[in-house]
Amino acid sequence: MRTAFQRDRDRIIHSRAFRRLQHKTQVLAAFEGDHFRSRMIHSLEVAQMARGVATALHLNPDLAEAVALAHDLGHPPFGHMGEERLNHLMTGHGGFRHNAQGARIVDVLEDRYGHGFGLNLTLATRCSLLKGKIPEGFPLSDDLLDEPRVRRRHRLPIEALIVDRCDKIAYLCHDLDDGMRAGMVRRDEARELTLWQQARDRTGTDDPSRVLSEMISILIHDLVAETDQALARADADAPPRAEQGSACAAATAEMLEFLRANFYRAERVMVAMRQGCDRIEATFDALRAEPAGLPERHRERLEHEPLERILCDYIAGMTDRFLLQQSLPPSSGPR
């Protein structure tokens, strides 16, 4: 009844790692307010966009959806700062990166049936999770590890590139929305953005909900039109890319800069992130000193895997709130 990619999608949705995205930070800590986006909501929003774009381009919407739902599975608690801290703690032990961790989760860590193949997803979906840099020595499945980098990139399906673009469209527009809701991004400043002005001109209103919806619509239509042309131009030597046109690329770059200055690096966000990162380090150090404190299924791995990787997998899998609930020995206060 299902295609291979529909089966991938269903296995991802039924995984524990996917359920945990509900309590992982997008920008504002997931527990700060019920209407801010968690990574699960973000993943669902990206999936819906990627499915729409893939359908419009006569590509494979099921593959796009599966990749989108899985694209953030490997994120540790406390977002990109949490990722950097874990990578720092894993120096000399194979490092940490959320994309690579996502592949590790679906291949190794989600081993519900104990058959050693994790969620047993298709190669297309697994390769699609491996965008970006992979730290030297990061433990991936042999078939992904053996693949030379270049060939791996060429084997990335166009659906994976579409998910990447939709990820950006989703987080830019939704972070702007969350930032304004949180009272951290000023609406009069957001109104200066090129894309906001375009959307306002097209809708004839300054109402943020309507404008934000139109901004997404502008970017998605541009992505479809540009990628359609790229697909027509592509051949075996030059695989197609999914891209925004130059005007939309400039407008999104402006938005990213704006959000960096007004939201991502705002003191309220930074304070929560720094506390979270210190908790990551304190928990890592405490469990390294006392591995008996690990849950049994992680302790069992100690016989054949390095302690640091087990700690990294365990902590990366934690939700923000689970991490903060960990009781630590009195000596391990914040740095």
Q: Which residues bind Mg ion (CB under 5 A)?
A: 72, 167
CB of 26 to Mg ion, least distance (A): 8
149 and 56 Cβ atoms separated by less than 8 Å? no
Nearest to Mg ion of 72, 107 (CB atom): 72
CB of 72 to Mg ion, least distance (A): 5
Choice between 264 and 284, CB closer to Mg ion: 264
Q: Which is nearer to Mg ion, 72 or 320 (CB)?
A: 72
Minimal CB distance to Mg ion: which residue?
A: 167
Closer Cβ to Mg ion, 83 or 167, answer by number: 167
| Token pair recorded at residue 260 | 């960096």
Minimum distance from residue 161 beta carbon to Mg ion (Å): 14
Please state, in angstroms and as integers, the Cα–Cα distance from residue 266 to each residue in 82, 172, 185, 262, 277, following that order: 16, 16, 9, 6, 16
Q: What's the min distance (Å) between Cβ of 42 and Mg ion?
A: 6
Nearer to Mg ion, 162 or 282 (CB): 162
On whether the CB atoms of residues 252 and 219 are closer than 8 A, the answer is yes
> Of the two residues 166 and 277, which places its CB atom closer to Mg ion in the complex?
166
Q: Nearer to Mg ion by C-beta: 101 or 283?
A: 101
Q: Which residues contact 73 (CB under 8 A, 6 or more apart)?
A: 12, 15, 17, 18, 21, 101, 102, 105, 106, 129
CB of 39 to Mg ion, least distance (A): 7
Give the max Cα distance, the chain. Answer: 65
CB of 300 to Mg ion, least distance (A): 32
Least Å distance, CB 71 to Mg ion, is 6
* Angle at CA of residue 33, ends 213 and 261, nearest 5°: 65
Q: How far is the CB of 12 from Mg ion (least distance, A)?
A: 14
- Residue 8 or 72 with smaller CB distance to Mg ion: 72
Quick one: 72 or 177, whose CB is closer to Mg ion?
72
For residue 217, the minimal CB distance to Mg ion (Å) is 20
Alpha-carbon distance of 55 to 153, in angstroms, equals 23
* Beta-ladder partners of 25: 38
